Structure 1
Amino acid sequence: MKRIAPRWQLSTLSCALLTFMSSTWAADTTTTNGTTEQAAPVQTLATLKLEATPATAKDPDISAVAKTIVTREEMLQFGDQSVNDALRRAAGFQMPTPGQGPRGGGGASGMRFRGGGAPVFLINGEAVQGGPRGGMSIVDSLTPDMIERIEITKQPSVAQASVASSAVINIILKQPLDNARISGNVRLGYGLAKSDQQEEQRKNISLQADGRDNAWLYSLSANQMWNDTTSITQTQSNGQSREQKRVTDRKSQMLAPRVEYELDDQQKLVAELFYRNNESEGSRDDQLQNDKNDSIRLNTRYERKDKGNSDKIRLSVEQQNETESTRSTLLNSYTDETVNEYGIAYDGVRKLDENKQIKFGTDIHSNELESNVSQTLDEQQYALYAEGSWKFTDRQTITLGARQEWINRSGLVEYSDHHLSPVLAHRFDFDDHWSLQTNISQAFKSPKADRLLPTVSISTDSDAGSLNNPDRAGNPDLRPEKITAYESTLGYNTPSGGINITAFQREIDDYIEKVIRQEGTRFVERPVNQDNASTYGVEIAGRYALKQTENGHSFMLNGQLSTVRAKVEDINHQERLVSDVAPYTASAGLSYNYQPWRIATSVNLNYVPEFTRALDNQPYNRTSNERVNMDISVTKRFNDGWAASLNARNIFSTDYKERLNNQSDGSLYEARVNQAIPSVLISVEKKF
């Protein structure tokens, strides 16, 4: 592949970046310069007193780029069992729904942000990923007991390498709660789901332990999960109907020890290790599927903090291995792929005075991806960034930054590119409650290495390889996306809650879309560059909390409506809506706590409407049905650190139905139904 010259240059937009002065505040929970006003606990973490907390030390970060923080207390209050449970209350995220079909994926890898790709996940500031071909990531193994807080940055920020992704989720792992040598909790869970011929059994055990001994801080997080499922898929084509039973056994392990040493009040050394292993065995009729994904990652850091000034040096190394085996009378395939990654980075912050600060740093990564079915792919990425913030009045802050990146690939793909990404953000606080914040950016987004591999992953079920259930593969000819983004949020927030209205627009050249093409006798879905695309929409997110009453009652209500219209223009200059982006999603949550009984309950409802989209270069329209999903959680705490939880998932859920109709006469071409399975998970917890 020939060298691709950078296409960013000084233009009308570039000049506008220096003069544009409106602003947003993109948070669906109450934030103040990157911190959240959370309710203070009354007795236990699950029983919260929902009122304004006493004044605390002000966060030294004065950046105009908004940040939403979800604390562990909030996750426990809502009965969250995973990171995805916490993020479903944040506007803009389209969460994967159980039984949502062959293309949706699951866990963090199946999440979408504002109709685009998955957001970038960080753990303690370090990027994490799934397997070489999108397997489960470390994020899917974390439980709220292991997490201190989740920081969500929805707008471009050069400091977090989120210029192109426009969403970064940084998971900060739990710190020791006190000076005890050892403390923590053990949780056991058993879940059962059954509907007609379908059945699912889930068992898990998790451990979180931490402590402090003088200058040493240490922690250990671990969990083991077993998930056995019998599912039914119904397909229809050519006037014939089929019912397919699939049996899948999954098991997953995660082990994460961490140690910190405080050199003095300002400096510390950190080392953390993540090991995970995921195995899946599935069968249907004569087809056997065996998948395995394991990885080990070591992160080390040196940190120095002196009031508003800080320095951080990060070193990381990771090895991932993923295998997929498909055996049947019609085909046999085996894929074995390994990723070796090495990284070094530096991040610095300097507070010039109370109203000025700068952030700067560098990031270097090297990856090697080996496969038994394709050439080795080597990749080197280098980045430099700088970002300055100036609070030029008591109520106005401006942030201007730029990130320069270089990328080189060799082996399977010969590719070299470099680009500059500028970002401008401005925040205006009308008073103590009203605010307006705007962000404008220009960026490039290079495709991830796993999307370049041409290796085909075989689908399952009786209609595998069909247009409605295609095989999946990568595309070595992908070009980077060029993105121009605008976003503005008007917010009204108080300690009791508030409402935020966000409008956004993104123009994307060389937009990467998953497109289905026939290859031989089977259909295969691959990422393909389209000429141009645009996404725009409005989000409305609100939250209201009733503070703790004298009788011990407290109440919280939150809801969101996220609209998105994603339109693509192909190489023939034909416009259509992106095939797999819902026009809007809506959700609502209700949480109630009663302190005397130490009981917390929550109900969360999600809704996705029916929508029809044309397939690229195919004479068919695809329709996805209207879907409703409800989750209910109840937690009761007892004496001596004991607690019990009941979590009902997919209550009153609708099946996932997908059908293809001929554009010429509207007649049915293919259809499939994945049945939803309501489930109940009972957990017992003991703190020590």
Structure 2
Amino acid sequence: MPLYPPCPRAPLYLLLSAMCVVTAQAADPDASAKDTTPPPKTESATKADEKINVTGRQITDTDRRRASSAAKIVVGREEIAQYGDTNLGDVLKRLPGVTLGGTPGRRGGEIRMRGLGSGYTQILLNGEPAPRGFSLDSMSPDQIERIEVMRAPTAEHSAQAIAGTINIVLREDARKRLSEAKFTLNDNGRGLQPGIALQHNDKVGSLGYTLSANFDQSRGKDESSSGTLGYAADGRLNFREDSSNRSQFQSRRLMASPRLNWKISEDDSLTAQTFIFHSDNRYTYTGQLERPLGEPAPYTSSAGDGDGSFDMLRGSGNWQRKLDEGRKLNVRFGFNANRNDNTSERREYLADGTLRLRRHDDSRTEDNGFTTGGKWSTPIGETHALALGWDADLSKRTQDRKVIENGVPQITEFGDVINASTRKLAAFVQDEWDINPQWSAYGGVRWESITVESRDKLTQIERTSSVVSPTFHTVWRIPGKKNDQIRANLTRSYRAPNTWDLAGRPYVSTDNSPTNPDRSGNPNLQPELAWGLEVAYEHYLSQNGLVSANLFTRRIDQLIRRQTSQQADGRWLNQPVNLAGASTRGVELEAKFRIGELIESDLQLDVRANLSQYWSSVDGIPGPNNRLDRQAKQTANLGVDYRFRSVPLTIGANYNWVPGYTVQTSSSETSDTGPRRVLDAYALWRFGPAAQLRVSGSNLSHADSTSGSTLQQGGVYRVSSNRNKTFVNWNATLELKF
């Protein structure tokens, strides 16, 4: 893959720092008691009696956002814990421009920025790529210190962020000794389930530490139905299929993230953190299938069960050394080891109860990796800050999967085991320049190389691609308006195909059809490349409130999209291919404020609102709905919080809305996604500074989740629809500090 030349070297933005006001006041504490003028003091006496008062303001999430060189939204502990959410997805869906896939009220939905997932949105855990196979939505919010949403890439982080980056920062050291305990009861539709979260912060000499752990479990049920209609070339209905499924599940999660901070000397410090995660789940289901019109149904009823577990051990360290003349050296290192085990069995029966199919699927996937990186920074004069750095990542994956149907092993020609490895190397340079008090800029260049290898019994793939990504950000503070600033950036980003999109091993459908095809990879895929331009206006209010408007556009080349086609043997196959390209653009509006910041009022009412509108078009696919895959046209949130004066009670609610939309995925296929309407609410009662009770309900509207698709081939087409019932989730948490 050719290297792309960087932009001209750009000057760079100097991060703003929070300001403390230091006032010195000479005073005689006994002066008010005296009725005579005190005698003159000597110089030494004056210094002895002098008092210096230092007052400061804690750096807020809004301060961090305002001072960031790149467009960034920062969400801290208070907002993360506000609704008592039991999974991270419920927190993220309230953020500007962030949407979730899947069924409302359930874990596992894909996290998407600007309506784009599937690799367009980069997910980081403490600044490092999240482990493969790990669902970020399965994390407990109790383990998270803050969330950083970056709308455009910077040289310091990977440029695999066409839509943006979400960085999850785990709990950090507290400034004082503190212990916290949270006891939770939640109900997902099948009775109350307990949970507990514990955290302890302390310091021993030069060693500070944080111990954090939590455990929770849940049980729930799901109900879904689907239907397919088939039409002949003359418009006559010649096929109909109806199916329904009911399932029950239960899951448990255990997380721990101990952290150590050791100040070795005045110039050296070392931070180490470990993240331990375990989850297991079990489920059972039953289903019915009817075909009143067309070819007979392959079966009339089905049943199945399965269980799985995911284990992860992740460690990271950061050594920082202060050098002469303001220089610094940071060296990072880390490792991760993951294992995912899944076993399932599906049984299909004919109308007379005869067992037609018994399919057993047993798989184990192991991921192991090592990462390292670093940054050397130095000031240049009084206005520049130059940094150079590197990143390296080596990961290996082994997947052992056995599929047996009616006692006969399947896909034996490929073997049971797939071995894959990924090697990533990157180097970057960046400069931050404070041009004048009103104008700052940031510029950088990052080179990244990715080598992917995959081999099984039949095939072997090795692909290397490299990309140079220039990035430029600038901030202009409007003269005479200290609370107003304009941001702009021009960046290069990309999306590399993942290992399983490249691997050619197929997964065979038990009931092959246009709506249930076989799936395989494509070893000829090329990375997607994108240029992005953004302009934003930000107005900051007096009490951490703000109003902002952001405009962006992206041009994507070599777009990757999965398409379904009929093969020479008559079977339907879905696989990824490169298309010519696509364009997307959007407007993102956000406001959050206390009523007192806008009008003269003592009302303790906070308001949060955001609205995003997106447009996109894919080259070579007919309109009008030739949008990027599953990109919503709009997303909006409206939230309010009210604090009572007479009682220690706070209540709040948030309404999340994503309208339905249609996407033309190819010249012959369309997909439909129904509207998403989710209402959450909470009530918080403070017994005192050390105890409070939070009661919350999520998905209170519990509207059904709907989707569908249409496939047309030579005048013959099929229309499918799906409906998933959703449920209200209740949660009560007692929070103690001591």
TM-score (structure 1 length as normaliser): 0.83
SS in structure 2 at match of 1:156:
coil
In structure 2, the residue matched to 1:49 is none
Q: 1:403 is matched with which residue?
A: 446
Matched, 1:295 2:295: no
Establish whether residue 684 from structure 1 lines up as the match of residue 734 from structure 2: yes
CA contact (8 A) 1:193 1:680 kept: yes
- 1:566 aligned partner: 616
- 1:197-596 aligned at under 5 Å gives the runs 199=190, 202-237=193-228, 238-285=239-286, 286-304=303-321, 309-329=327-347, 330=357, 331-372=359-400, 373-412=416-455, 413-430=461-478, 431-454=481-504, 474-496=521-543, 497-516=545-564, 526-546=575-595, 554-570=604-620, 576-594=626-644
Tell me which residue corresponds to 2:150. 153
Aligned AA for 2:77?
Answer: R
Provide the C-alpha distance between the structure 1 equivalents of 2:623 and 2:308, rounded to a whole number of angstroms: 40
The structure-2 alpha-carbon separation of the partners of 1:344 and 1:489, relative to structure 1 and needing over 3 Å to count, comes to: same
1:627 aligns with 2:676: yes
Q: Give the CA RMSD over aligned residues.
A: 3.7
Letter in 1 for 2:490: I
Q: 1:59 to 1:280 in 2, by over 3 A?
A: closer
Gaps of 5+ in 1: 24-31, 38-51
Q: Distance in 2 between matches of 1:577 and 1:398?
A: 34
Distance 1:434 1:253 in 2: 45
CA distance in 1, matches of 2:700, 2:326: 48
C-alpha contact 2:84 2:731 (8 A) present in aligned 1: no
- The answer on whether the counterparts of 1:650 and 1:678 sit within 8 Å (CA) in structure 2 is yes
Pick 1 or 2: higher relative contact order, CA cutoff 8 A, min separation 6. 1
For the 8 Å contact 1:163–1:441, the answer to whether it is kept is no
Partner of 1:300, secondary structure, is strand
- Give the aligned residue type for 1:358: L
CA deviation map 1:333-377 (0-9, x unaligned):
222221111111112332334421122200111111112235311
Q: Which has the larger radius of gyration?
A: 2
Q: CA deviation at 1:73?
A: 2.6
Secondary structure in structure 1 of the residue aligned to 2:580: strand
Distance 1:608 1:59, change over 3 A: closer
DSSP 3-state at the match of 1:392:
strand
Q: Is the 8 A contact 1:627 1:656 kept in 2?
A: yes
Contact 2:454 2:499 in 1 (8 A): no
Judging changes above 3 Å, is the alpha-carbon distance between structure 1 residues 578 and 523 closer, same or farther for their aligned structure 2 residues?
farther
1:35-61, Cα deviation, whole Å (9 max, x unpaired)? 799xxxxxxxxxxxxxx9848699899
Instruction: Report if aligned partners of 1:509, 1:532 keep a CA contact under 8 Å in 2.
Output: yes
Match of 1:26 in 2: none
Between stretches 220-229 and 72-81, larger displacement belongs to: 72-81
Q: Within 2, Cα distance between the matches of 1:36 and 1:192?
A: 43
**Structure 1 residues 642 and 438: alpha-carbon distance in aligned structure 2, compared to 1, 3 A threshold:** same
- Structure 1 contact 319–339 (Cα < 8 Å) conserved: yes
Aligned counterparts of 2:694 and 2:570: Cα–Cα separation in 1: 50
Conservation of the 8 A alpha-carbon contact between 2:614 and 2:633:
yes
* One-letter amino acid matched to 1:390: W
SS at match of 1:567: strand
Secondary structure, counterpart of 2:80 in structure 1: helix
Q: How does 1:133-212 map to 2 (within 5 A)?
A: 135-137=134-136, 140-144=138-142, 146-162=143-159, 164-180=161-177, 183-194=178-189, 199=190, 202-212=193-203
Q: 1:609 and 1:448, CA in 2 relative to 1: closer, same or farther beyond 3 A? A: same
Letter in 2 for 1:544: F
Distance 1:262 1:527, change over 3 A: farther
Q: CA deviation at 1:212?
A: 1.3
Aligned partner letter, 2:186: G
CA contact (8 A) 1:62 1:355 kept: no
Q: Which amino acid aligns with 1:628?
A: R
* Cα distance change, pair 351–453 in 1 and its aligned pair in 2 (3 A): same
The offset of 1:592, in angstroms, is: 1.7
Q: Partner of 1:185: helix, strand, or coil?
A: strand
Which amino acid is 2:2 matched to? P
Aligned length: 637
Offset, 1:513: 2.7
SS for the counterpart of 2:626 is: strand
Residue type of the alignment partner of 1:214 = G
Q: 1:33 to 1:631 in 2, by over 3 A?
A: farther
Query: C-alpha separation between the residues in 1 aligned to 2:221 and 2:619?
Result: 41
Partner SS state of residue 151, structure 1: strand
Q: 1:445 to 1:606 in 2, by over 3 A?
A: same
CA contact (8 A) 2:215 2:255 kept: yes
**Amino acid of the residue matched to residue 495 of structure 1?**
S
The residue type equivalent to 2:363 in the other structure is T
Deviations 1:97-137 (A, max 9, x none): 5349xxxx944743344434453333333332341xxx424
Q: Which 10-residue stretch deviates more, 395-404 or 253-262? A: 253-262
- 1:126 corresponds to 2:128: yes
Q: Which amino acid aligns with 2:199?
A: Q
Match of 2:80 among 69, 75, 78: 75
Q: Unaligned regions of 5+ residues in structure 2, if any? A: 20-54, 229-238, 287-302, 348-356, 401-415, 456-460
Amino acid at match of 1:187: K
User: Secondary structure in 1 aligned to 2:138?
Assistant: helix
- 1:477 Cα deviation from its structure 2 partner: 3.6
2:299 is matched with which residue? none
Q: Which residue type is aligned with residue 208 of structure 1?
A: Q
SS in 1 for 2:69: coil
Q: Supply the AA of the counterpart residue of 1:276.
A: F
Q: 1 CA distance for matches of 2:109 and 2:389?
A: 28
Give the aligned residue type for 1:365.
Answer: D
Cα distance, 1:636 vs. partner?
1.2
Looking at structure 2, the residues matched to 464 and 539 of structure 1 have their Cα atoms a distance apart, in angstroms, of 43
